[in-house]
Amino acid sequence: MGVPKRRKSRSRKKMRVRSHRHPMPSLAKCPKCHAWTQPHRTCPSCGYYGDRQVISITAE
Ligand SMILES: [Zn+2]
């Protein structure tokens, strides 16, 4: 493996590291309540995952 010749400056390092993270997490619509949720996760607004309730959400 090659070895870096010079140390990268603070801003160069930040520019590199910034690209490692996604700017926005991907979103999917909940089939039950049609709210935006993350895919493959329990819906935080209705508590459903797939077609069954996984966690109980107390109504406000
Ligand atoms: Zn939902």
Report the separation in Å between the CA atom of 22 and the middle of ligand 1, taken as the mean of its atom positions. Answer: 24
Query: 52 versus 10: which is more confidently predicted?
Result: 10
Provide the whole-model pTM.
Answer: 0.49
Report the separation in Å between the CA atom of 47 and the middle of ligand 1, taken as the mean of its atom positions. Answer: 6
Report the separation in Å between the CA atom of 43 and the middle of ligand 1, taken as the mean of its atom positions. Answer: 5
11-30 confidence digits (pLDDT tens)? 999 999 988 887 777 888 98
Query: In a 10 Å sphere around its CB, with 0-12 CB exposed, 13-18 middle and 19+ buried, how is residue 49 labelled?
Result: middle
What residues contact residue 53 under an 8 Å CB cut-off, 6+ apart?
A: 46, 47
Report the separation in Å between the CA atom of 26 and the middle of ligand 1, taken as the mean of its atom positions. Answer: 16
Query: 38 versus 60: which is more confidently predicted?
Result: 38
pLDDT score of 52 more than 60: yes
36 half-sphere exposure, CB direction, 13 A CA radius: 3
Report the separation in Å between the CA atom of 51 and the middle of ligand 1, taken as the mean of its atom positions. Answer: 10
